[in-house]
Amino acid sequence: MTTPFKRVHLIVMDSVGIGEGPDAKAFDDEGSHTLKHTLEGFEQSLPNLQKLGLGNIEPLPVIDKEAEPQAFYTKMSEASVGKDTMTGHWEIMGLNIMQPFKVYPEGFPEELVNEIETLTGRKVVANRPASGTQIIDEWGEHQMKTGDLIVYTSADPVLQIAAHEDIIPLEELYDICEKVRELTKDPKYLIGRIIARPYIGEPGSFKRTSNRHDYALKPFGRTVMNELKDNGYDVIALGKINDIFDGEGVTESIRTKDNMDGIDKLIETVQRDFNGLSFLNLVDFDALYGHRRDKPGYAQAIKNFDERLPELM
């Protein structure tokens, strides 16, 4: 049997949406349109995304329609119940989630906080939704003095633990996150990911490092990646893809530092002779700009991605 393609390269521009989904009201997201709102007022063109037909899906600032687009294009909505990273990526690989993960807009319950403190022997501080850089600026010096755990969340079903690398070494932070991962597998918490968020520096100039590590749940069922791997195909996970799937269905994992490093690693992968799938997540759109509502930074990141497309194509 012949196959139409020897290799498929899949890129997810994390959080780059093109309008509200049919269930937007359930998530208080009516009127959302990340691409349109981000590009409003942006004065640079995006010629390569335009050539592929992005502007043919619906009207967008700085992106016109193409009479003869160089790619197929469409707009899709999730069938799963949820809007978080794991739900979206799992569905891309054929696994629908009908029970949504839990979010904690008021912080984590006292019962869970007490369990974390007992389990780790360290006090929990912060415990609220926040930007990672903001919470580290606020609590970083305290953490250095006390060794407490900076625990925070976001609009996603995640529990993040930040600590200074000189105060809590990486291996200890990772061990803490593994323990908290096991603890939060309890259905009463149903948290999608535990994220280690190490940082360095001094008060006033703290900086998160690339030693972030995500502890996800294993997918609740089989995915396309499992089928590919079990049938002898390569499944190369780039960026945080391996973490999102907890290694399930992955034959090789390649870490990336940021969006541009992700593109570099993908270009290296494209040049290899393999048979199967490469799957890249570009997280900076979401982690560096989306959560911080940094509209100029977000738009420039899209521009930077657009400029790299010819190298891939």
Closest by Cα among 12, 21, 14 to 78: 21
| CB burial string 21-46: b at 16+ within 10 A, e below | beeeeeeeeeebbbbbebbeebeeeb
Question: What pTM was computed for the model?
Answer: 0.84
In sequence order, which residues have a C-beta less than 8 Å from that of residue 96 and are 6 or more positions away? Answer: 79, 80, 90
Domains in the chain with CATH codes: 7-99+220-311 (3.40.720.10), 110-216 (3.30.70.1250)
Q: What is the pLDDT of residue 130?
A: 94
Tokens describing residue 64: 């016109």
Asked if residues 276 and 235 have their Cβ atoms less than 8 Å apart, the reply is yes
CA 153/CA 127 separation, integer angstroms: 7
Q: What is the pLDDT of residue 1?
A: 57
pLDDT one-digit tens code per residue, 183-205: 999 989 989 999 999 999 999 99
List, for the chain, all residue ranges whose pLDDT scores fall below the cut of 50: none
Q: What is the pLDDT of residue 155?
A: 84
